Amino acid sequence: MKPIQSTLKQWTKSAGLQERLENQKKELFKDPFIQEFLRMEKYSLTTEMVDRGMVKLYEFKKERTHCANCPGLKACPNMMKGYQPTLQIERGHLELRYLPCALKVQEKQHKEQQQLMKSLYIPKDILKARFEDIDMDGEREEAGAAALEFALKAEPGENGEGLYFYGKFGVGKTYLMGAIANELYERGVESYTVYTPDFFREMKQSIGDGTFQGKLDRIKRAKVLILDDIGAETTSSWVRDDVLGVILQYRMLEKLPTLFTSNYDYDELEEHLSYSDRGGIEELKAKRIMERIKHQTTFVTVKGHNRRESK
């Protein structure tokens, strides 16, 4: 049996194949991407390198042509979707390296940003809230100004002061918090918005499946934590002391801002937290929790009519 190299040599000499290959090679070298590479590396390239690297040159041309006529990331025809080839000389050989294109980088950045705004049990319309869409009438002017100032100036780790939004049902407390979360997102600041009653209920259930500590750590370490509708939960000594108390203590020490919305003012929330599921009243423990909340927040009354009823 003849060696394969011998057979290939015979093929290249037969039926004008050599001529066609030379024509294809000339066309290859007319490509602007190939010309740019040859120009940039003219002092390093040798004819031998080029001859040995023809396959890589063809691949480079094909993939870069795809990029030049980019159909979008989802329809990318390249072998590695979203990656653009570069030619390099390594140890006397031409080598191809693939790097993420601008669209791939943009997609990655978008996904990373999406992770900045997390939520548990919060309606989607709240997460879309923007300050420019909020009706800042006379009644909500003070609360809107406080919310915007916090969103623009929050410095987790440097200043741990948050907000306590108190008001009746439907006045827009949660919506203002959604606008804060979105503004923080634009600034690249992580926030976590939690509907408190459902969160506490989940924490109780997580004891049985072994996920309690992981969930607690995730919440307490958020750069900005928003506890929505605190006081609406069923009172429990365990929730108050081993969940809420632990979260607030950690955040106070680490100077991480915590924001609250509630239908209770400070005094009413303290009374609510003092009731024990074991019976009786635990005023001292409730007062300890409230001291942390008061120390870490500015009290803001959100006024206005019930917008849920007007819809």
Walk along the chain (311 residues) and give the pLDDT tens digit of each residue.
455 555 545 555 555 667 777 778 888 889 899 899 888 888 888 889 888 988 999 999 999 999 999 999 999 999 999 999 999 999 889 999 999 999 888 787 666 655 566 777 788 788 789 998 887 777 788 999 999 999 999 999 999 999 999 999 888 899 999 999 999 988 989 999 999 999 999 998 898 888 999 999 999 999 999 999 999 988 789 999 999 999 999 999 999 999 999 999 999 999 999 987 666 788 999 999 999 999 999 999 998 776 666 55
Angle ∠(263,264,265) on CA atoms, nearest 5: 125
First to last CA, the chain: 87
| Residue ranges of domains in the chain, CATH in brackets | 4-105 (no CATH), 115-301 (3.40.50.300)
- As a whole number of angstroms, the distance between CA 36 and CA 57 comes to 12
